[in-house]
Structure 1
Amino acid sequence: MEDYAVENSPMTDSRAQRTTTASRSAHHSLTLIIVFLVGMLVGWLLFGRSDKPQTVYIGMDAQLADDDPAFGPADAPITMVEFSDFNCPVCARFTLNTLPQIQSTYGDQIRYVYRDMPIIGGSVSVQTAIAAECAADDGKFWEFHHLLFSNTQARSPEAYIGFADELGLNTSAYTTCLSDQAKYDEVILDLVYGQARDIRGTPAFYVNGQLINGAMPFEIFRTVINNELNKVGIQPPA
């Protein structure tokens, strides 16, 4: 079982690549390098001279706030941010088993945000994240998210288009979206953001700023969430 860690933590490093034409790959690589270096510089300026872990929200928070898939009220007392990879078996276990327990227990007390952290499957993880982002354009992110984690061997453009068709999406527009530079950049921005927050593996979670590493049992999440509710004077569910 994964180590359990809850801490106020800073954030830094990893890479993802996608196989396309030579010119497109070069452009993508340049984009990633620039964003990565900016993230590293910000991380060094904020954390480089401090040995004490701390929670610091860097500028990308505002930039990502409206882009990341989320459910639950914006003013919920608990904000839970997951950094995840669709090719991570442990992430699938959390999504299919633990997340439904959190939803049924806390309901509208939770604002749940999903951020891409494609660090396991290389270019496949990046492309899978893009596939889900494209479904989000038609309001079907969470349905697509569930299909991906329920069908972990289906990792190809044909499979993604098949899922899109199953969900009633316009498959022509969806197919075009799969090669959209803006979607690639969005996924990479999430990745660099996670690196800047010292996310080294998936899944990882921030619950009101507290870091939980790994797909912990429901009781671990319950303890952290209940503590946060108590801090704001809300009685946790029985």
Structure 2
Amino acid sequence: MDSLESELERARDLDTSALADAIETIGFECTRCGACCKAGETACGEEDEEADDAARESDAADPEPHTATVFPDEIRRLQDAGDYDFRDVARPMPYGIEETPDGPRGETFEWALQTDGCGDCTFYAEDDGVGACTVHEDRPLICRTYPFSVGLGGTSQPMGEAVDEEGMVRAHECEGLGRDISRADAEELAAALKERAVRELEEAIGVRENYRPTERDGVVVHDSEGQKRPDGTPIDRE
């Protein structure tokens, strides 16, 4: 397996024109269905407002919450954009964390966008079945580039395995695939896709270099800036 450093060099050398060609070949237009911003099956929004409120309070209402990775600096940008608290924006990535009688415990290595009581992205809004992002201009790279990813080791595949591939570009489940896309939009998406690939590998290297074992109770998030509590504050800051 290639090292993260060698994959990072490959990411930095990606030809955005070739990425745009691949995106054009696959085709994509966002239909604003909201599927990439929402959880799987939930009880929310299916009955009346009272049932919706009850579902938001029930752990069983959201077995598979929306999970989208977000970088530390992206969290801060979203905080600044809306004067949000850290935990309004992000939560520890659930992988590696388990529920215990004394509360959640474990270590994880990424942050995920915060979700509402139904498991949908907290920044997602919907009107008559048409979805919208309430922080669209400041949305993270994972959102800017969905449903595409780059086929490099150390980069993520959002929403499961690829359903289509063209060169280095992987396409993931989305009803907008196969639709016409302008060259300008393909090039903009390709540039963001390359940036995300670079950032994911830089973050992975930073996590590796800054990892320190900890026996702290509760949840610990190891990101490229060090060890943090679920509210984003460094553990070494008491």
TM surpasses 0.5: no
* TM-score, with structure 2 as normaliser: 0.28
The structure number with the bigger radius of gyration is 2
* TM-score, with structure 1 as normaliser: 0.28
Instruction: Considering fraction of residues, name the structure with more strand.
Output: 2
Higher relative contact order (CA 8 A, sep 6+): 1
